[in-house]
Amino acid sequence: MPGKHVNRLAVGLLAMLVLLAVIAVPGAAFAHAALITTDPGDGAVLAQSPTQFSLTFSEPVSPLVLTLVQPDGTPLQLTAFRLSDRMVEIDNPQTLKSGTHVLSWRVISADGHPVGGAVLFSVGAPSARPAVNEAVDWDLRSAIWIGKVFLYIGLFLGGGGAFALAWLAQGGHSGQRFVIAAILCGLVATPLSLGLQGLDALGAPLARLAQPVVWQTALDTSFGWTVLIALVALGLGLLSLAGRSGAKLFALAGLTGAGAALAASGHASAAEPQWLTRPMVFLHGAGIAFWAGALVPLGLAVRRQPAKAGSFLRRFSRAIPFVAAVLAAAGIVLAVIQVQTPAALVGTAYGQLLLVKLVLLVFLFTLAAVNRWKLTAPAEAGETEVQRRLVRSIGIETLIVLAIFGVAAGWRFTPPPRALAIAAAQPASVHIHALKAMADLSITPGHAGPVAASMVIMTGDFGPLDAREVTLVLSKPDSGIGPIKRSATKPGDGSWRVEGLIIPVPGRWMARIDILVSDFEMVKIQAPIDIRP
Amino acid sequence: MKKYLLAAGTLVVLGTSGAFAHVTLETQEAAVGSTYKAVLRVPHGCDGKATTAVRVQIPEGVISVKPMPKPGWTLQVKKGKYEKSYQLYGQAVASGVKEVDWSGGSLPDEFYDEFVFRGTLAADLPAGEKLYFPVVQECDGAADRWIEIPAAGQDEDALEYPAPGIKLLPKK
């Protein structure tokens, strides 16, 4: 009876893991958030101290740290803010002295990765730019990277190893000590990673690791789910090694948990379409755990007890082609979604890491294929020389796997080309307000090249304005360009559009909108708009 | 130096030809309380196209307007109420012509023509200021709108399509 009891417990835990993974999936999918507009605008010179600031992003975000650095360099924490859809409205608690201020912001989006930036504006007249610490904290970055590698070791070598011992070795104990050590590694690294995530989220140095607010912040990010699920998965792996009864179910739950932990946060899981990316990350993670976890126990088994290792080797080699196929397929799908264009493989840090990983994978798959189709049969038959070669090969495979973990952990710091493309596609917008009329102008995408402009025209007091004609005039006097004049058309949704416009160079352009209010009355309004490179 | 002179010369030439190319009034000043004969000078079509209609908006304070018919053009007026009542030869005038249209003609780009109307400048118009007569010049499928009125302090020469105007002189 106790055996059955334990089984039921394991099934319950497995169900809980799946449930956790489902809860962890947010309602809508988002990539890295990109800042679209700010009020005051970057570089603005205001006549008076503003009563509030606003930041508008490409998607909803949660602010982590908002700091106003005053002209004399003293920082002021801004704590009163409101969220309305994609906009963060921040109260300014005091009247600002004249001079240049820096509004430094740090927010988190749904992939669990914090993003930050700064807006520079002046009251009265510009002064020297106050010093703002924007340097990368390399100590923290290294710590996060190491934490991530150990988390992978725990989940894949530990959790996956426990699975291999329970399902493939069937009673063999070679490598058990290594697996336990890997799980313990993971159990230490996982909570530490949470604290490091909190530090990164707040932009705080390593010295503040002990503060509760750091941990609370990290728990509120999607990485909190990864940590919770990983801890449960590692615990299940350890349980499977401890008792005899239920070991298989515990180990299976542990392997499932390893996949679910990865699927709960990160670039790949946050990508669209969610119904595809999250299961793919799950399969990829579970596949890695199956393969990588079996390597060390298998190698040790073949070396120490060649006679008993035969059945272990047979089961592993029968399953591995399918597992590798699923692993590779999921990886390819995710890579295509993330990288989008072949050019991004070379042109972005994310793509370069992927190339390094692919090179390592070529070695790994070559070794694995030789092992599987050349060495396995003779080794099973008991040829000692071949067995020795197989053990050495498995050792090298393990090292390559560790190197791949290192590369994959580096992705934590590189936004994927997909997110970069989303950010690049964001429009440049400006609100032009004059006494007689006002307009919301947005140029999509907001960088130099072929663009489309969209304008919503209103009267000066936000009333409807049924203009007869609208003309957009763009000029860049400092580059001697312009005016580029295009009459807008009405697509019927209340806006005015100019298609097929080409903005030749990035920088600050002057946008003028000529609004023909009635047959004999024209209103011209204008404002500068920043076009990204 | 030579370059600068050349640039300056080009600017002057372009500037003047630009000013000549506008639709303007022949007589550029008139005393308030007098009768004014407005001669609209149309020097060219819209972007090379022949002019097919000329419409002028009569500003508030210009009363008792009578346009001169023109052979080959259909003359129409739009009448309406003035913002207030004016005294003309001892009689109150509260409504009259607000817009004059010459249409249905064809004035090729390479020819010049004039469009004439007459009106009385009310005695209470502010002397010393400018009074503008916005004009819409219509061509086949295009239009030039000479309707821009400079904002306070704005240089009239900076406008792309300035409305023709006159300077109001004190009453004689």
The interface pTM score, or ipTM, of the predicted complex is: 0.77
Task: Assign B107 a pLDDT band (cuts: 50, 70, 90).
Answer: very high
Q: How far is B148 from chain A (nearest CA, A)?
A: 7
Q: Indicate whether B22 pLDDT > 60.
A: yes
Q: What is the enclosing helix (H) or strand (E) of A37? A: strand A35-39
Q: Minimal Cα–Cα distance from B149 to chain A, Å?
A: 9
Q: Which of B136, B148, B161 sits opposite A519 (nearest CB)?
A: B136
Q: Chain A: nearest CA to B147, how far in angstroms? A: 6
Cis amide prior to A491 (ω within 30 degrees): no
A435 has a chain B CB within 8 A of its CB: no
Q: What residue has token string 């703002």?
A: A132
Ranges under pLDDT 70 in chain A = 1-33, 110-111, 129-135, 244
The beta-carbon contacts of A147-151 under 8 Å, at least 24 apart in sequence, are A147/A189, A147/A192, A147/A193, A147/A196, A148/A193, A148/A409, A148/A412, A149/A402, A149/A405, A149/A406, A149/A409, A150/A185, A150/A186, A150/A188, A150/A189, A150/A193, A151/A186, A151/A189, A151/A190, A151/A193, A151/A230
Residues of B in contact with A519 (CB under 8 A): 55, 57, 136
CB B46 within 8 Å of CB B142 = yes
Coil, strand or helix: which one is A93? coil
Task: Quote the minimal CA–CA distance from A434 to chain B in Å.
Answer: 13
- Tell which wins on pLDDT, B145 or A7: B145
Q: What is the DSSP letter of A532?
A: B
Joined together, the tokens standing for residue A142 give 């290294």
* Amino acid A19: pLDDT: 52
Write out chain A residues lying below 8 Å of B53, CB-based. none
Subunit contact A520:B147, Cβ cutoff 8 A: yes
C-alpha B64/C-alpha A305 separation (Å) is 118
> What is the pTM (predicted TM-score) of this model?
0.67
In which element (H, E) is residue A279 found?
Answer: helix A274-304
Hey, what amino acid is at A79? T
- Give the C-alpha separation, A122 to A49, whole Å: 9
The verdict on A434 touching B (C-beta cutoff 8 Å) is no
As a whole number of angstroms, the distance between CA A243 and CA A3 comes to 10
Least confident residue range of A405-409, A500-504, B7-11, B96-100: B7-11
Which of B147, B149, B159, B161 would you mutate first to test chain A, the one with the most A CBs within 10 A? B147
Contacts 24+ apart (CB under 8 A), B13-16: B15/B157
Are the C-beta atoms of residues A132 and A75 closer than 8 Å to each other?
A: no
Dist. CA B152–CA B144, nearest whole Å: 24
Q: What is the pLDDT of residue A138?
A: 85
DSSP state of B49: B
8 Å CB contact of A519 and B148: no
pLDDT at A9: 57
Q: Which residues of B touch A510 (CB under 8 A)?
A: none
B162: closest chain A residue by CA:
A522
The two structure tokens encoding residue A509: 């352009």
Residue B57 and residue A516: Cβ atoms within 8 Å?
no
Is it true that the peptide bond before A483 is cis, omega within 30 degrees of 0? yes
Distance set, CA A242 to CA A13, A157, A178, A179, A249 (Å):
16, 17, 14, 12, 13
Whether A520 contacts chain B with CB within 8 A: yes
Q: Position of tokens 């000329």?
A: B54
- How far apart (Å, rounded) are the C-alpha atoms in residues B66 and A421? 64
Residue in A with minimal Cα distance to B143:
A519
* Residue bearing the bigger pLDDT, A86 or B73: B73
Residue A32 pLDDT? 59
Burial class of A439 by CB neighbour count within 10 A (0 to 12, 13 to 18, 19+): buried
Query: Would you state the pLDDT for residue B84?
Result: 92
Residue B6 pLDDT greater than 50, yes or no: no
Q: Which pLDDT belongs to residue A172?
A: 78
Residues from chain A that touch B55, judged by Cβ atoms under 8 A, are 519
Determine the residue type at B158: A
pLDDT at A129: 64
- Write out the H or E segment, with its range, that includes residue A386: helix A384-410
Instruction: Determine the pLDDT at residue A472.
Output: 94
- CB distance from A499 to chain B under 8 Å? no
Tokens coding A430: 């400006």
> Is there a contact between B25 and B166 (Cβ–Cβ < 8 Å)?
yes
Cβ–Cβ of A520/B148 closer than 8 Å? no
At B101 the three-state DSSP class reads strand
Mean pLDDT of the residues in chain B: 86
Element (H, E) at A304: helix A274-304
Indicate the burial class of A3 (C-beta count within 10 angstroms; 0-12, 13-18, 19 or more).
Answer: exposed
| Tally of CB atoms within 10 A around A56 | 17
Three-class secondary structure of residue B28 per DSSP: coil
Structure tokens at B41: 């000078």
CA distance B4 to chain A (A): 16
Number of neighbouring beta carbons within 10 Å of residue A87: 16
Q: State percent of chain B over pLDDT 70.
A: 88
Q: How far does A521 lie from chain B, in Å, by closest CA?
A: 6
